[in-house]
């Protein structure tokens, strides 16, 4: 919790429609430094902020724990393989 207070948070996009695309573009215009994650894999490659990386690792861990409850085979590292949902 203390770490999250020290850094500007990122926005993690899980899905969107045409209104969501517009909203994201408006957010970027209003705050160009805002990190918007549409691909975890690409973000981990280009990100150099150690604190954001730590926070994202916790996010990925939470997804891995959540998928353990799937009725069928659990998926490990779903954040790296699942694309955002576009409507």
pLDDT at 71: 77
DSSP 3-state helix, strand, coil percentages of the chain (rounded to 5)?
55, 10, 35
Would the pLDDT of 81 be above 90? no
Residue 16 structure tokens: 């969107």
SS3 5: helix
Question: Position of tokens 């918007």?
Answer: 36
What is the number of domains present in the chain? Answer: 1
pLDDT at 12: 92
The verdict on pTM exceeding 0.75 is: yes
DSSP 8-class letter at 77: T
Q: What is the pLDDT of residues 6-24, one digit of tens each?
A: 888 899 999 999 999 999 9
Q: What is the pLDDT of residues 47-79, one digit of tens each?
A: 988 999 999 999 999 988 988 888 777 677 888
Structural domain that includes position 60 = 2-86
pLDDT at 1: 80
pLDDT at 76: 78
pLDDT at 7: 86
Q: Judge contact between 33 and 8, C-beta under 8 A.
A: yes
């Amino acid at each position: 919790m203390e770490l999250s207070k020290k850094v500007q948070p990122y926005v993690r996009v899980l899905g969107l429609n045409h209104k969501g695309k517009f909203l994201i573009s408006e957010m970027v215009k209003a705050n160009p430094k805002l990190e918007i994650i549409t691909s975890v894999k690409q973000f981990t490659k280009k990100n150099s902020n150690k604190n954001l990386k730590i926070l994202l690792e916790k996010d990925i861990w939470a997804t891995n724990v959540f998928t353990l409850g799937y009725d069928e085979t659990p998926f490990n590292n779903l954040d790296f393989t699942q694309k955002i949902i576009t409507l």
